[in-house]
Structure 1
Amino acid sequence: MSALLPLAFLLPAITGGVLLLTGRRANGAAPAVAITVAAATVAVAIAAAVVRPRVAVPFLPGAPFEAAMPGLSAVLLPVVTVVAALVLVFAAAERTGPAARFHGLMLLFTGAVVLTVVAASLPALLLAWEVMGATSYALIGFVWRDPVKTGAGFVAFTVTRTADLGLYLAAGAAVAGGAGLQLDALAAAQGPWLHVVAAGVVVAALGKAAQLPFSFWLSRAMEGPSAVSALLHSAAMVAMGGYLLVRMEPLLAATRWAGPVTAWIGAATAVLLGLVAIAQQDLKQVLAASTASQLGFVVLAAGAGTVAGGTAQLVAHAAVKSLLFLVAGAWLAALGTKQLPALIGVGRRYPLIGVAFTVGAAALAGLPPLPLWLSKETVLAAAAEQSPALYAAGLLGAGVAAAYSARILVLIWRRPPASAEAGFDSEEPGSRRVPGAASTVMVLLTGAAVLLPLAWLPGLQPAWRGLLGAGGAPAATPLELTLSAGIAVVVAVSTIPLARAAGRLPTGWLGLEPAAQLLVARPAGRVAALLAAGDDRILARIPAGGVAGAVTRAAGWFAAVDERGITGAMTGIAALTGRAARRVRAWQTGRLEHYFTAAVVATVALAVVLIVAR
C-alpha cells in the first residue's frame, strides 16, 4: 500500500513529461490521455486517503525524501485531484491547445501539487514547490508569442520565487537548530533558529497564497488560459500557500508571534483585496482579487490555530472558485470578452451556466446555507477566542465579500442594453456557444457547492474534525452564524443599487506592483548595473592576454611551491623516518648480550640523571 503515494504524484508527472517530450505528434491523443490519467489519479488519491500510507526514501543523512497522509492531506488530496480532472475535461471541451503541451504541463503541475499535499519532509516539499512554480510560469505564459502573457508569467514567477527563498532559509535554520528536516519536527528547533524557521515558512506561504504584500502577481496571472486560472487559483498553487500555513500551525504556535502576525495579515488581505475586487471591471480580475481575499480566511485560520476552519475554507473555496473561473472562461470563449460592461445580462443569454455562476457567487458572498458561510464561521469562531478585534476584521472581510459577489450577480442578470453586443469579441473571437461537456463540468461543481454544507450535519462534522485532530476546536454558535448570515444578506441587498457606481472606482491593486518596482526591482537593477560597470572598467584596464598571463604565472608559482615546498618537505620527512627505522632495526638482533648491554647502559644513564637531579 505504500506504493500509493509515489503513484499519486508520479503517474500525472511522468505522463505529463512524456506528452511534453512527444510534442505535436501527441496533440490528437493528449486530451484523452490526460483525462484518463487524471481519473486514475483521483482513484489513487481516494485509496491513499483511506489507507493513509507513509513512505520514506533515503536522501540525506537524517533527512529522507518522505511522503505521508496526515488527516489534513487525507481531506485535501481527493479534492485537489477531482478539481484537476474536471478542469482537464473543461479544457478538452474548449480545445485549449496545443493540446500536448497544455495537457502535459497541467499533468506535471498536478503531480507537483499532489506531492506538495503529501510531503512530510522539506526535501520532498522543496522539490514539489520548485516544479509547481516552474510549471505555473509556463502555464500562465502559455501563449508564448504574446509578450503581455509571457510578461505576466514572468512577474508571477519572480514574485513567488522571491518569497520561496523563505523555504530555503527555513531548511537551513531547521538543521542549525537541531530540528532536522521533517515537517512535523520543525517546531522543535532550538533557540532563535525556531523563529527563523517560522519566518521563512510564513514568507514562502504568503507569497504562494497571494497575500499582502505579494498579492499583485495574481492579477497578472489572469493572462493565462481560463482552465489554468480555474486550477491554479482555486484548488492548487494559491491554495497550497494557505495549506502550508495550516499544515505548519504547530510551528506558528510555538513562536507565539508568528500566529498573531499571520492571522492579521490574513484578515487585512480579506478586507483590502475584497475592496479591490469591488472596483474591477474585468470578471477574471474580480475573481482573482476575491481569491486572495478568500485565501485570507485560510491564513487567518492558520494564525488563529484552527486547522478545521482552514481546511474547511480550502475545500469550500476550491469547489466554488473553480466553478466561477470555469464559467468566466466559458463566457470568454463564447462572447470573446470578460469585461463586465459587455457581460451585462449574460445570465439571461446562457441560463444554465448563469444559474451555476449564481450559486457560486452566492456561496462566495457567504449566504446561507452554502459552504463558504459555514467555513468562514468556523474560522471566525477561533478568531473570536483570540481577539475581538480580529473577529471584527474577519466579519468586515465577510461583508466585503458579499458586496463584490452581489455586484457581479446584479450585472449578469440585469436586462442587457441594446448596445451590449458592441463589446463582444474585444479580446478574442467568440464562438457564441458553450460546449456540452464544459456545461456538464460546471453543473457537477455546482452540485458539489450545494452538497458541501452536509459536512456540517451533526453526524458528519465530528468525523472530519476528528480526522483533522480538531475535535475540541471551537465551533460557531447559532448567534455567530445568524450574525454572519445577516451581515451577508444586508450587504448584498444594499449593493444592488450601487452596482454601477462601483465601476467608477480605481481598478489598481493598491499600488502593490509599482511599489515593488520602486522599492525592490529598480534598486536591484541599479546595483547590478553598478557592479557590471565596475567589472567592465577593471577588465578594460587589463591588457589583452593579461588575465591569461596572470593566471598562468600564478599557477606556475603554486606549482613551484607544491614541488619544492610541500613535496620536498614530505620527501625529507620520509627519508628521516627511514633512517630512524634502520637504526632502531639494528638493535633488534635477537642476541641476548646486545639486549643486556642496552639495559645496563640505560640503567647507568638513569642513575646519573637521578644523582644530578638531587
Structure 2
Amino acid sequence: MTLWLLIALPLVTGAALLVTGRPAGRVAPAVGVGAAGLTLVLAVFAAVTRPEVSAPLLAGLRIGLAVDGLSAVMVLTVAVVLVAVLVFAAGEFGAAESRARFHGLMLVFAGAMLVTVTARDLVVLLMAWEVMGACSYALIGFWWREDHRVDSGAIAFLTTRAADLGLYLAAGAAVAGGVASLTLAGLPAAAGGWRDVVVAGVVLAAAGKSAQLPFSFWLSRAMDGPSPVSALLHSATMVAAGAYLLIRLEPLLAATTWAPTVVAWLGVVTALVLGAIAVVQRDLKQVLAASTCSQLGFVVLAAGAGGPAAGTGQLVAHAATKSLLFLGAGAWLVGLGTKDLRRLDGAARRYPLLGIVFTVGALALAGVPPLSIWVTKDAVLATALADSPALYVAGLAAALVSGVYVGRVLAIVWKPAGAAPERLNRLLLWPLPVLAAAAALLGIGGLPVLAERFSRLVGGPAVPAPTWSELAASGLIAVAGVVAAASWKRSFREIGVLADWLHLERVARAAVARPVGRLAVVLARFDDRVV
C-alpha cells in the first residue's frame, strides 16, 4: 500500500490541479508543497520498509514495482528535491501566473520519475518515461505566449523523443529474444544477437534522456523554462533518468563485449567536452546546463566501468548540488533581473546568504574537498582506473575543467558590489541552506571507510574505493582549477563552436530533421495522389 500511495499522491494531486486550472491558482502552492511533503514522508517509509507490488496488466504481462537499495536512494532524492523546488516556486510565482498548471505539472513530472525508479519491467518504465517527456515539453514551454520558449520545449521533446525510440527497439528485441515478461532483471537472458540490440536501444534512450553527446544541445534549450523547472529537471528527474537506467541495467551492459567500453567512453568524453563548453558560456544557466551534461557523464562512466554504487553516489550528490545552484541562479534572476554573467558582478555580495550557499554548491560541483562531489567523483575515477588508466586520466582532465568553470563564475559573483537591491521573498531562500548542507555532506558514503557499506546498500558489485592519495590528488586538481580561473584577469574568450554547443542543434536539423521532414512531404503526396 505504501508504494501505491507514494506513486499515486503526486500523480493524482498534480492531475487534479491541472484539471481544475485557474480556479485552484490561489491554493495551488499550498497544495503542491503539502503533497510534496507527504510524498517525502512516504518516501522515507518506503525506503525503510522496501515494499514491492505486482499486478496483472494484459497478455500475460504484469506491472512490477519495488523499492530496493538503489530505488530507496532515488525516491528519497526525488522527494527531497521536489519539496525544495516547490517551496521556492511558491515564492517566485505571483498570482498572475498559472500556478495550478505549474504545480500540477511539477507533481506529475516527479510522480513519473518515482515510477521510473521503482519500475521492474519495461512496460511500466516506458509509460513513466513518456510522461516525463511530455511534462518536460509543457514545463520548458510554460510561458507559452513567448514563441522561442515553446520552440525550445518542442526541440527538447523531439530530441529526447527520437532517442526514446531506443526503448521501443529494446522492448521488441527483448520479446524476440525470449524475454516474454519484459522484466528488467530478465533482459540479460535475451538470446544471441537480440541482447546486443536490447543494449543498443537502452544506451540510445539513456544518452538522449541524460543529454550525453550527441544529444546534449537539447539541455541548452531547456534553459528557457522557469528556474524551478531547471532545478528539478537537471537534478532528480528527466536528465537523471537516463543515467539511472544505465546504473540499474549495469548487469545487462556487462553481459555484452562492447557496451561497457562504449558507455564508459561516452560518459568521460561528454564530461570533458561539455565541461569545456561550460567554461565559455556567458549565461549562468547555460553554464549550469553544460555542467549537468558533464557531471552526469561521470555517472555514465561509472555504469560503463562496472561501478553502479559509485555512479549512484555521484547521481545523488549532483542532484542536491545542482538543485541548489539552479534555485540560487533563479533567486538572482528574481532579485537582479538577469542571468547574464556580465551583469552579475557582485551578486553574491549583494545577497550574502544566497552568495554563501551558492558558493558551497559551486565548490561542491568543482569537486573541492571536503564537499560531496570531491568524494563521489573520486569513487567514479577509482572505478575507471581499475577498468582503464586512459579513462582515469580523461576523468581527471574533466575534473580540472570543472574547477575552471566554477572558478570563473565565483570570481564574477564575488566582485565588489554596488548598492544592495530589495530583499528577496523568504520562500526563495528557505530551501537553499538545506540543499547546501546536502551538497556538502552527501559524499560521505564514498569515503574509503564507508564505500563497501554503500555498495551493499545499492546492490552493486564490490569495486575499489578511492585511496586517500587519489582523493588528495583530485582535490588538489579541483582547487588548482578554481584558483587559476578565479585569478585570471582577462575575460574568457568566447569560442564560437564551444559557445554554440558544438553547433549540435544545427547538425541535428541538417542531418535528421530536414531529411525526415522532406521524406514526410514526399510520402504524404504519394499517399494523396497514388494511394
User: How does the TM-score come out when normalised to structure 2?
Assistant: 0.96
Deviation at 1:312, TM superposition (A): 0.3
Aligned to 2:445: 455
Identity level (%): 56
Query: Deviation at 1:456?
Result: 4.3
Q: Which amino acid aligns with 1:282?
A: D
Amino acid corresponding to residue 56 of structure 1 in structure 2: S
Task: Quote how far apart the aligned CAs of 1:451 are.
Answer: 2.4
CA deviation profile, 1:365-401 (whole Å, cap 9, x unmatched): 1101111010011101110011111111111111111
Tell me, yes or no, if the aligned pair for 2:448 and 2:466 is still in contact at 8 Å.
no
Residue 536 of structure 1 and its aligned partner are, at CA, apart by 4.3
Deviation at 1:480, TM superposition (A): 1.1
Tell me by how many angstroms 1:308 deviates: 0.9
Asked if residue 91 in structure 1 is aligned to residue 85 in structure 2, the reply is no
Higher RCO (Cα < 8 Å, 6 or more apart): 2
CA contact (8 A) 2:446 2:465 kept: no
In 1, the alpha carbon distance for the partners of 2:410 and 2:286 equals 15
- Listed one character per residue, the Cα deviations across residues 243-287 of structure 1 (whole Å, up to 9, x for unaligned) are 000001000000121111011000010000000000100000000
List per-residue Cα deviations over 1:108-144 (Å, max 9, x = no partner): 1111010001001111101100111111110010011
Corresponding letter in the other structure for 1:250: P
Report the counterpart of residue 467 of structure 2 in structure 1. 477
User: Does the Cα contact within 8 Å between 1:115 and 1:125 map onto a contact in 2?
Assistant: yes
One-letter identity of the residue aligned with 2:473: L
TM superposition shift of 1:37: 0.7
In structure 2, distance between residues paired with 1:149 and 1:499: 35
Pair 1:533 & 2:531 matched? no
2:36 and 2:452 mapped to 1: Cα distance? 31
Deviation at 1:537, TM superposition (A): 4.2
Report how far residue 459 of structure 1 moved: 6.4
1:107: which partner in 2? 107
Residues 510-589 of structure 1 correspond to what in structure 2 (within 5 A)? Answer: 510-538=502-530
For residues 562-590 of structure 1, what are the alpha-carbon distances to aligned partners after superposition, in whole Å with 9 as ceiling and x for unaligned?
A: xxxxxxxxxxxxxxxxxxxxxxxxxxxxx
Match of 1:496 in 2: 486
Find the counterpart in structure 2 of residue 229 from structure 1: 230
Distance 2:139 2:490 in 1: 34
Q: Specify every segment of 5 or more residues in structure 1 that has no aligned partner in the other structure, as ranges.
A: 422-430, 540-614
1:249-398 to structure 2, matched below 5 A, reads 249-398=250-399
Aligned to 1:128: 128
RMSD: 1.6
Aligned pair partner of 2:18 in 9, 17, 20 = 20
Number of equivalent positions = 526
3-state SS of the aligned residue for 2:492?
helix
1:447 partner amino acid: A
Q: What displacement does 1:7 show?
A: 1.1
CA distance in 2, matches of 1:110, 1:337: 28
- Check whether the contact 1:281–1:503 (CA below 8 A) recurs between aligned residues: no
Q: Check whether the contact 2:313–2:443 (CA below 8 A) recurs between aligned residues.
A: no
1:347–1:412: 8 Å Cα contact kept in structure 2? yes
What is the CA–CA distance in structure 2 between the aligned matches of 1:305 and 1:432, rounded to whole Å? Answer: 50
- Code of the residue aligned with 1:435 in structure 2: it is N
Q: How many Å separate the matches in 2 of 1:291 and 1:529?
A: 37
After superposition, where does 1:17-166 map in structure 2 within 5 Å?
A: 17-95=15-93, 97-166=97-166
Displacement of 1:529: 2.1
Whole-Å Cα distance in 2 between the matches of residues 355 and 243 of structure 1?
Answer: 30
Asked whether the 8 Å contact 1:280–1:503 carries over to 2, the reply is no
1:440 offset after TM fit, Å?
Answer: 1.3
What whole-Å deviation, never above 9, does each CA across 1:135-173 have from its counterpart, x for those lacking one?
A: 111001001111010000000000000000000111111
Matches of 1:528 and 1:38 in 2, distance apart? 43
Following TM superposition, by how much is the alpha carbon of 1:497 offset from its aligned partner in structure 2, in angstroms?
3.3
User: Is 1:198 equivalent to 2:199 in the alignment?
Assistant: yes
- Secondary structure of the residue that 2:463 maps to in structure 1? coil
Q: Secondary structure at the match of 1:172?
A: helix
CA distance in 2 between counterparts of 1:218 and 1:456 reads 28
Give 2:244's aligned residue.
243
Unaligned runs of at least 5 residues, structure 2: none
Partners of 1:301 and 1:383 within 8 A in 2: yes
1:596-611 counterparts in 2 under 5 A? none
Q: Which residue of 2 aligns with 1:10?
A: 8
| CA contact 1:411–1:499 (8 Å) conserved in 2 | no
Equivalent-residue separation in structure 2 for 1:456 and 1:245 (angstroms): 19
Quick check: 524-533 or 199-208, which moved more?
Answer: 524-533
The more displaced of 261-270 and 87-96 is: 87-96
CA shift for structure 1 position 234: 1.1
CA-CA distance at 1:460 after TM superposition = 4.6
Larger radius of gyration: 1
Q: Which residue of 2 aligns with 1:207?
A: 208
Partner SS state of residue 401, structure 1: helix
